[in-house]
Amino acid sequence: MKTRRGFVSNSSTTSFTCEVCGTTEAFHDSISHVEMGFYRCPNGHSLCEGELLNDSSVTTKDALIMAIRDTMARNSWSKQSIQSEINEYGPLEDWDEENLKDTVRDYCEADCTAFQCPICQYEVFSEGDLHKYLQKLTQITDDEVLDEVRAVNKRRRRIYHNDYIDYALHKLGMDRLALAQQIKTSYPTYIELSKHLKD
């Protein structure tokens, strides 16, 4: 089963957190997150509507194909199903827009394309990804950071991504800009970064 990042459910309400700005909204299950202005990209990022990218240089069809390819690179179950349709109907480029949209809806579990997602396009980094990346790089534990945070504020019981990132960067003598450059140099696309983080 795919896990949906950004969702925490109980019987009646769902909360959704934007991975770019951190905005969290809780709303009743009967209302869809899209109606509340939240979107999911094919790579599982949760975003506010206002964060979606818009670039007229890429056609809707290209964006849909990109979304499908992203999904195929990440989800082997979807990959198999989509591949069998490609075997039957020919390359994605030859499909019409309606068929591409159906495929995105059926297999991609997304409300927008990866092309519209600023995290997938490397315009911004998700705090969760930076936390994981720095964990792999530095081996600093969350407990070490929590101790540091509690030395200043005893009431804190957990750390936020931000706490970890700031602490690790301080240890490395790096700023966020340099970190972003390092990641983009080592992993030229978001898919490569996300594979690294999952290893």
List all residues 6 or more positions away from 119 whose beta carbon is below 8 Å from its beta carbon: 19, 20, 41, 43, 45, 47, 125, 126, 129, 190
Q: Given the complex with Zn ion, which of 37 and 79 has the nearer CB atom?
A: 37
Residues forming the site for Zn ion (CB under 5 A): 18, 20-21, 23, 41, 43, 45, 48, 51, 117, 119-120
Q: Given the complex with Zn ion, which of 23 and 189 has the nearer CB atom?
A: 23
At its nearest, how many Å lie between Zn ion and the CB of residue 109? Answer: 12
Structure tokens at 73: 């690179």
Q: Given the complex with Zn ion, which of 17 and 103 has the nearer CB atom?
A: 17
CA atoms 127, 128, 133, 137: torsion sign: positive
Number of residues that this document lists for the chain? 199
At its nearest, how many Å lie between Zn ion and the CB of residue 17? Answer: 9
Pick from 127, 139, 198, 199: nearest CA to 168? 139
At its nearest, how many Å lie between Zn ion and the CB of residue 143? Answer: 30
At its nearest, how many Å lie between Zn ion and the CB of residue 39? Answer: 9
Q: Given the complex with Zn ion, which of 41 and 100 has the nearer CB atom?
A: 41
Q: Which CA distances in Å does 88 have to 81, 83, 91, 169?
A: 11, 9, 9, 50
Rounded-to-integer distance, Cα 65 and Cα 72, Å: 11
Q: What is the CB neighbour count within 10 angstroms for residue 79?
A: 16
At its nearest, how many Å lie between Zn ion and the CB of residue 115? Answer: 9
Q: Given the complex with Zn ion, which of 72 and 117 has the nearer CB atom?
A: 117
Rounded-to-integer distance, Cα 45 and Cα 4, Å: 9
